[in-house]
Amino acid sequence: MPRIPEETLQQILAATDIVDLVGRSVKLKRSGSGYSGLCPFHQEKTPSFSVSPSRNAYHCFGCGAGGNAFRFVMEHENLTFMEAVKRLGDAAGIRIEESVWDENAERNAKERAALLRVHSDIAQWYHTLLMKHSAAEPARAYLKSRGINSAIAANWQMGYAPPHGDPLREWALEQKYSEKILIAAGILAQGGEDSARAGETYPRFRHRLMFPIRNDYGEVIAFSGRLLDPEAKAAKYLNSPETPIFSKSKVFFGLDKSKRAISKANRAIVCEGQLDLITAFEHGFENVVAPLGTAFTDFHARMLKRHAEEVVLCFDSDAAGFKAAERAFAILAPTGLVVKVAPLPQGEDPDSLIRGKGADAFKNQLDAARDFFDHLLDFVSTTRDLNETREKTRFAADTAAMIRLLDNPIARDAAIQKVALRLGIPEADYRRQVSRIAKTVPGKSESAQSSPPQPLPPQDKTAAMLVRLALADAKILHWLRNSGREEILKDISGAELLALIWKSSTSFADNTSLAAFFSTLPRDEEHAFSQLLSQPMPSGGMVAAQHALDALGAKRLDNLLQRAQTQLKEPNLSPPQIAQLQQRVITLRKEYLDRIAQLKDIPIPSAT
C-alpha cells in the first residue's frame, strides 16, 4: 500500500510543537523537563498525562494512550492517519503529494476537505447577505434590537439564509458546488417518502439568522440558524445534521474563541444560547461557552475539564433551567469539576441582563454563584414541602444519588453535612444512605462507558529492555540488526516490539525519525512503544544489550525444549518419531544448560 515518504513525516513532526498542539486542548503545567495535565482520553482527578518536548510525544500512565503529534490529532479529532498528516502538514506549510496517499484515505480526506471548503464559502455568502442584501433587513433589525452592531456580527461571521431556494442554487451554480455536496454538508435537505416534499431537495435553513459553528481550529463545520418569523411553526433554533465533520454532542459554540480565556481564568461560564454567549464575550466575559441546544455529554465534560477546574452554570431561574442545571451537574460532577450555579433574575438571560442593566450586573451574578447543592436546596425549598415526611424522604434519596456523583471526598462530605443540616436528619444516617448508593451517571450504563485504548499483550521484560537500549544507541541497533540471530523472534512471545525495530530499515537517528516511524504503526503498537519509552532507561550500554540478547537466546532454547517434551507425550507416535524427539530433547537441554552457564558469569542488568 502506498505510504507518505518517511522524510515528509519527519519534516512535519519536526515543524510541529507538540506542547503547543496538545496545549490547545489540555491545560498543561511544567513538570521537570516536560509537561503534565489531565488526560483528555479518560476521566481522572490527578494528572497522569505527560508531554515530552524532547521525545516529541505524549503518554498517559493511567489509560496507556500515547504517541506523537499525528496520533494525538487522530485520537482527539477522530481523524484518520492521512487526515491528521494533512492537517499538521497544512499548519506547517508542508506540501503532501496526493499521489502517495492510499485510495481510501485520499477519498475520506477529499470528502472532509470538500465539506470544510463548502462550509467556509457558504458562511461567507450568508455573511455577505446579512451585511448587504435587502432581503436580510429583518435579520439586521433583529440584531439591532439585541444590541448587536455590524462589528460584532463581522467578528462572529453571522449570516442570513434567504427564505427561498433560488438564491442558494444560483450561488452553488456560480461556485460550481453540486447538489450532492450540499446535501452531504446538510445545507440542502431531502424530503422523506412520507412527506409532502418526497424526493425534493430544499434549503435546510430558510429566513434564519445564521451562526457558524467552528471546531477547535476555527474551521466552520456546521451552522445554527435562528428563526426570524415569530409566526412560523418551526423550531426556534435549527442546527446542521450530523456529518463526517460535525457532531453536536462533541462541540461547544464559541470554544474556539474562548478556550484560552477559560484556561487563564480556570473557570468556564456556561450559557444556554448563542446570543447569550456572544453578548457576554463582547462585554469582557470571554471564558464562556454554550452547548448546541443539546444535553451535556461526557465529551462536553471532558472538554471543559481539560481547560478549567470550575464551571458556572448560567441557566434560567425557572423549573426548566433548574432541570437543565441538574442534568449538567450529573455529567460534570464525576469528572471532578466544581459545579456552581448563578441563577439569573426571573425572566432574564445573560444577554438581556447585560443589555438592560450592564456588564457589572452580570458580573455580580457570577461573583455570587453558589455551590450546586446550595442552589438545589434553595430552589427545592420553594417548590416542595420539605417538612412533610414523604417529601423529605424522597428528596433525601434524590440528593444522596447526586452527592454520590461527586469525585472529591471533601466536597462529598461538605454536601452531606449541608443537606443533613437543612433537612434536619442525623448526619450519620444520611452518610450511610449516600454510601449505599452506587456511583453511576443517571441514564448511562457501565457498558456504555467508552474504553481506553488497549495496549499489546505484556512484552517480555528482557526484550523490552533491548528495545530501549537499541532505540537509545545507534551502535546497538546496528549490531542487533547484523547479529544474524533473527530466529529468536520466532520462538519468544512478547517480542513484538523488538521485532518491529529489528526488521525496520529506519535509522532512528533522532526523536523525529523515531516519531515518524511510530506514526506508521497501528494504534496498539504505537501506544505500547509510548508506554515503554516513558520508563527509565536501563544502564549498561552494549554489554547489557549483548547479555539481553543471550538471555533471549536461552529463553528461546527453553521454549523449544518444553515444546519437544510436550510433543513426546502425544499418543500414537511412531518409534522413529519418538527417537527423533528424544534426541532433540537431549540436544536442546545441553544447549540450554551451556547457555545458562555462560550467562551466570556476568549478571544481566535490570530491565527497569
pLDDT digits (tens, 9 = 90+) for 279-320: 999 999 999 999 887 678 888 888 888 788 899 999 887 788
User: For 25-78, how does the pLDDT look when each residue is reduced to its tens digit (9 = 90+)?
Assistant: 888 998 888 899 999 888 788 899 999 887 889 999 888 888 999 999 988 887
Last residue of a domain, one of 100, 131, 147: 100
Going by their DSSP bridges, the two strands 288-291 and 267-270 should be labelled as parallel
The set of cell numbers assigned to 367 is: 461573583
Q: What are phi and psi of 313, to 5 degrees?
A: -90, 120
Per residue in 324-361, pLDDT (tens digit) is: 889 999 999 988 899 999 988 888 889 999 999 999 99
CATH, residue 75: 3.90.580.10
Q: Do 130 and 144 fall into the same domain? A: yes
Q: Does residue 549 share a domain with residue 500?
A: yes
- Do 262 and 228 lie in a common domain? no
Among residues 344, 375, 406, the one where a domain terminates is 375
Q: Hey, is 28 helix, strand or coil?
A: coil
User: Judging by beta carbons within 10 Å of its beta carbon (0-12, 13-18, 19+), is residue 74 exposed, middle or buried?
Assistant: buried
Asked whether residue 277 falls in the same domain as residue 324, the answer is yes
pLDDT one-digit tens code per residue, 1-19: 456 777 788 888 888 889 9
Rounded (5°) CA angle 47-49-53: 125
CATH number assigned to the domain comprising residue 166? 3.90.980.10
Distance separating alpha carbons of residues 519 and 512, to the nearest angstrom: 11
Highest averaged pLDDT of the listed ranges 100-109, 166-175, 449-458: 166-175
| Order of strands, sheet of 66-67, starting from the edge strand that comes earlier in the sequence | 29-31, 34-37, 49-52, 57-60, 66-67
Give the Cα separation of 466 and 469 in Å (integer): 5
Q: With respect to residue 593, please indicate whether it lies within any of the assigned structural domains.
A: yes
Task: Please tell me whether residues 112 and 73 are part of one structural domain.
Answer: no
Cell of 96: 503532501
Q: What residue has cell string 465534560?
A: 301
Q: Which cell numbers hold the place of 212?
A: 457558524
Rounded CA-CA distance 181/124 in Å is: 17
Range of the domain at 280: 252-375
Q: Indicate whether 122 and 241 sit together in one domain.
A: yes
Structural domain contains residue 516: yes
Radius of gyration of the chain from Cα atoms? 31
CA dihedral 469, 474, 479, 482 (to 10 degrees): 120
Provide the pLDDT confidence category of residue 174 given band limits of 50, 70 and 90.
very high
Q: How far apart are CA 523 and CA 65, in angstroms?
A: 9
Is the sign of the CA dihedral 477, 479, 481, 487 positive or negative? negative
Asked if the structure places residue 454 within a domain, the reply is: no
Share of the chain above pLDDT 90, in %: 33
**Same-domain status, 420 and 350:** no
In this structure, the answer to whether residues 86 and 195 fall within a common structural domain is: no
Work out how many domains the chain is built from and give that number: 5
Q: For residues 104 and 537, give the distance between their C-alpha atoms in angstroms, rounded to a whole number.
A: 39
pLDDT for residue 440 is more than 70: no
Averaged pLDDT for residues 416-441: 80
| pLDDT tops 70 at residue 469 | yes
